[in-house]
């Protein structure tokens, strides 16, 4: 679909909101991204299989894939949809996890390593949780929070299927975690409006994506990030991410929480462009009002996505 056709299918308030934040060229690219048919993507679950084994099984099934420069365990499937993968042994045995490329970014940015205490504040259904378990290996200890009982059950199922035995599920609202807890690394993939994941063909789009949802999301995001900063150990790091491309859910939340928490100057932003060498990554980026943060543009390969990394110095 062309830009004008896609724009007409979007909620009335969205295009003006995008134009307040982005120039016309980026607004047009975003809207065109909302109309793109996204390719299926997945990652090898290195707790149960290596990349080469997964690649061989996909090829044997006639499924073609491309590598991703910034993450060697990721695959872009170029000739099949998700349904074609469901019957493969590699999927049924938990050796792969169907996951968007954008949602693979936060665990990579966090830099999970063995021997650390890690908190996943909003964990279900478990894609990022199991990815962190694979990146950190058996030596890392992950606490995964999920307050909704059915979602927590889905999370537990995925952890078991993926062989992520180093994860403890806590059925708790992460906003209410005791300050007696402390963690070396925290992933806060916060609930959001999903503005980066919108698609023009979604018949429920106008009902799901509303200004009220954005306002509700911001309230939760502020409370969650405040709590994350309280729970972070000296020397620890936190990645804050959303699948939104709206500044009010991203940079604005980050600024407000850091202003409240950083009276003694102990928190600092890590430059993710430099850490992840994003200039050579082929990830399509949108401009951000915080230079160290990253915002991914929606395309046929990526969902719109925001990410920032905070370090506690002391």
Compute the distance between CA of residue 252 and CA of residue 218 in angstroms, rounded to an integer.
9
| pLDDT confidence of residue 2 | 86
Compute the distance between CA of residue 241 and CA of residue 190 in angstroms, rounded to an integer.
6
What lies within 8 Å, CB to CB, of 290 at 6+ separation is: 251, 254, 255, 269, 308
Phi, psi of 62 (to 5 degrees): 80, 20
Terminal Cα-to-Cα distance of the chain (whole angstroms): 51
Reading the block at residue 107, the tokens are: 């665990």
Across 68-78, average pLDDT: 96
Compute the distance between CA of residue 77 and CA of residue 59 in angstroms, rounded to an integer.
11
Percent of the chain's residues with pLDDT above 90: 95
Compute the distance between CA of residue 104 and CA of residue 110 in angstroms, rounded to an integer.
11
**pLDDT per position as a tens digit, 227-254:** 999 999 999 999 999 999 999 999 999 9
**122 is known as an active-site residue:** no
Active-site option among 145, 192, 238, 243? 243
Average pLDDT value for the chain: 96
**pLDDT per position as a tens digit, 122-180:** 999 999 999 999 999 888 999 999 999 999 999 999 999 999 999 999 999 999 999 89
Q: At what angle do helices 251-261 and 211-231 cross, to 10 degrees?
A: 40
DSSP, res 300: S
**pLDDT per position as a tens digit, 39-66:** 999 999 999 999 999 999 999 999 999 9
| pLDDT confidence of residue 138 | 81
């Amino acid at each position: 679909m062309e830009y004008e056709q896609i724009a007409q299918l979007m909620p009335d308030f969205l295009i003006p909101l995008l134009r307040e934040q982005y120039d016309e060229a980026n607004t047009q690219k975003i809207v065109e991204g909302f109309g793109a048919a996204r390719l299926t993507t997945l990652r090898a679950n290195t707790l149960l299989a290596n990349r080469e084994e997964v690649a061989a099984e996909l090829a044997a099934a006639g499924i073609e894939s491309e590598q991703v420069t910034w993450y060697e365990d990721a695959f872009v499937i170029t000739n099949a949809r998700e349904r074609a993968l469901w019957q493969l042994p590699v999927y049924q045995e938990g050796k792969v996890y169907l996951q968007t490329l954008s949602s693979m970014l936060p665990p990579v940015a966090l830099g999970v390593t063995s021997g650390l205490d890690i908190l996943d504040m909003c964990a279900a259904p478990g894609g990022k949780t199991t990815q962190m378990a694979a990146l950190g290996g058996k030596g890392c200890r992950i606490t995964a929070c999920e307050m909704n009982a059915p979602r927590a059950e889905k999370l537990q199922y995925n952890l078991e299927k993926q062989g992520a035995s180093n994860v403890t599920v806590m059925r708790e609202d992460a906003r209410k975690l005791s300050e007696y807890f402390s963690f070396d690394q925290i992933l806060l993939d916060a609930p959001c409006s999903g503005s980066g994941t919108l698609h023009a063909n979604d018949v429920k789009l106008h009902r799901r994506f509303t200004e009220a949802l954005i306002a509700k999301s911001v309230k939760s995001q502020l409370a969650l990030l405040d709590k994350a900063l309280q729970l972070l150990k000296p020397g620890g790091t936190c990645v804050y991410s959303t699948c939104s491309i709206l500044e009010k859910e991203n940079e604005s939340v980050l600024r407000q929480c850091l202003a409240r928490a950083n009276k003694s100057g102990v928190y600092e932003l890590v430059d993710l462009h430099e850490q992840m060498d994003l200039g050579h990554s082929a990830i399509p980026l949108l401009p951000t009002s915080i230079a160290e943060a990253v915002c991914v543009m929606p395309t046929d390969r990526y969902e719109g996505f925001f990410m920032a990394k905070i370090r506690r110095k002391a």
